[in-house]
Amino acid sequence: MAASTSSTSDGVAATPAQPLKAPPTPLPQRRLGPFSVSAIGLGCMNICHAYGEPVPEADAARLLLAALDAGVTHFDTAALYGFGLSETLIGKYLAPHRDRFVLASKCGMTGVDLRGDGKRVRVIDGRPATLKTTCDEALRRLRTDAIDLYYLHRWDKRVPIEDSVGALADLVREGKIRAIGLSEVSAATLRRAHAVHPIAAVQSEYSLWTRNPEIAVLDACRELGVAFVAFSPLGRGVFTSTPPDPQALHAQDIRRAMPRFAPEHWPRNLALRTRLVALAEQVGCTPAQLALAWVLARGQHVHALPGTTRVAHLLEDLGALHVQPGAAVLAELDAIFVPGAPSGARYNAQGEEEVDTERF
């Protein structure tokens, strides 16, 4: 775990948070670089970014503290999420408990007011100076002296990966971060980066309907001793008990621009989900729990990182740690969701251009 701190990097006292319960029996653990963390972590994007309006601050605080109460020791955020709001909320409510969890955040993709009208635009910028500035800003928001795992959120293809990782290695030497991660990169890029400085983790989208990591990077991580962190393991809500209605999505919901939720693709994808639901009933668990159990069964180096805004959903997700689907069920899931079965690309053209991952 990280060293305990209850103040910001600039000396401002952390905001007190409500008392927590006694630490629970530890959840099943997996290695995340130099750390041991709960096999299921909490992605902290949903509370303020990408899926509509941010939740009320009280609800965000309740979720963060409930996760800690439940034994989650892996919290993941980014400078992009809410343009700093996610990091701010984590700093405000979890800094007093900093010795109880591993903190991951990301740089290299932030929101910039390019027009001067207060409306931020997402910008990918992997220049060394930008990454170091973003880190300093994150440390202040997170109210900590060091970030345990710091990812390059996207590889800026205008900047050699060696230069961006070199800047992160400088931050390790300065004690501002403890380990380096990469997000949405290919196996080839991982190997180039790993030659500059050991990479602790790769984070990419991985779920029943997004199996691109199986092309190469999942095995490359295993070979190099790198943890693989699966974000959106529930198919951006599709594999939960209450799947999204594409026609009712908030105007700011990023799924509105994702082909799989478009009218020409959605019926086929919903039909795949129906088969998952039936299989989960046979196993005796929820669809979300079975989908998460499938992800965790891909290897001991694989972590699941679901996000939510509701405590009940958080606890349901953690229940996946007690689901044992068996080889036959896992094989049936593989067959249902064979690559090519889901209809539509996972991102639109711009999103596909921004990532460096292999594609089927």
pLDDT in tens, 169-190: 999 999 999 999 999 999 999 9
Q: How many helices (H) and strands (E) does the chain have?
A: 11, 12
CA contacts within 13 A on the Cβ side of 58: 0
- Report which of residues 90 and 18 the model is more confident about: 90
Predicted pLDDT of residue 23: 56
Predicted pLDDT of residue 16: 41
Q: Which residues pair with 303 in a beta bridge?
A: 229
What residues act catalytically? 81
Strands 109-112 and 121-124: antiparallel
Tell me the two tokens of residue 322.
């007690």
Predicted pLDDT of residue 20: 60
Name the one residue in this structure whose structure tokens are 């596909």: 352
Contacts of 296 (CB under 8 A, 6+ apart): 39, 40, 302, 303, 304, 320, 321
Contact present, 158 and 166 (Cβ < 8 Å): no
Q: Span 11-33, mean pLDDT?
A: 66
The Cα angle at residue 159 between residues 233 and 358, in degrees rounded to 5? 35
CA dist list (Å): 74 to 4, 77, 165, 355: 15, 10, 22, 24
Asked if residue 15 has pLDDT above 80, the reply is no
Q: Span 2-14, mean pLDDT?
A: 38
Lowest mean pLDDT across 13-27, 97-111, 165-179, 207-221: 13-27
DSSP for 242-269 reads S---GGG--TTBGGGG-GGGSTTTHHHH
Q: Which residues pair with 117 in a beta bridge?
A: none
Helices (H), the chain: 57-70, 85-94, 128-142, 161-173, 187-196, 217-224, 266-283, 287-296, 311-318, 327-336, 349-354
- Torsion angle of alpha carbons 114, 118, 122, 124, nearest 10°? 50
Predicted pLDDT of residue 237: 97
Domain boundaries, the chain: 29-236+292-323
Q: Span 233-260, mean pLDDT?
A: 96
Asked if residue 160 has pLDDT above 50, the reply is yes
Contact present, 337 and 295 (Cβ < 8 Å): no
Q: Tell me which of 3.20.20.70, 3.20.20.100, 3.30.450.40, 3.40.50.720 is the CATH number of domain 29-236+292-323.
A: 3.20.20.100
Predicted pLDDT of residue 116: 74
Predicted pLDDT of residue 311: 97
Contacts of 274 (CB under 8 A, 6+ apart): none
Contact present, 229 and 201 (Cβ < 8 Å): yes
Task: Say what the pTM is.
Answer: 0.93
Residue 297 to residue 342: CA distance in whole angstroms: 21
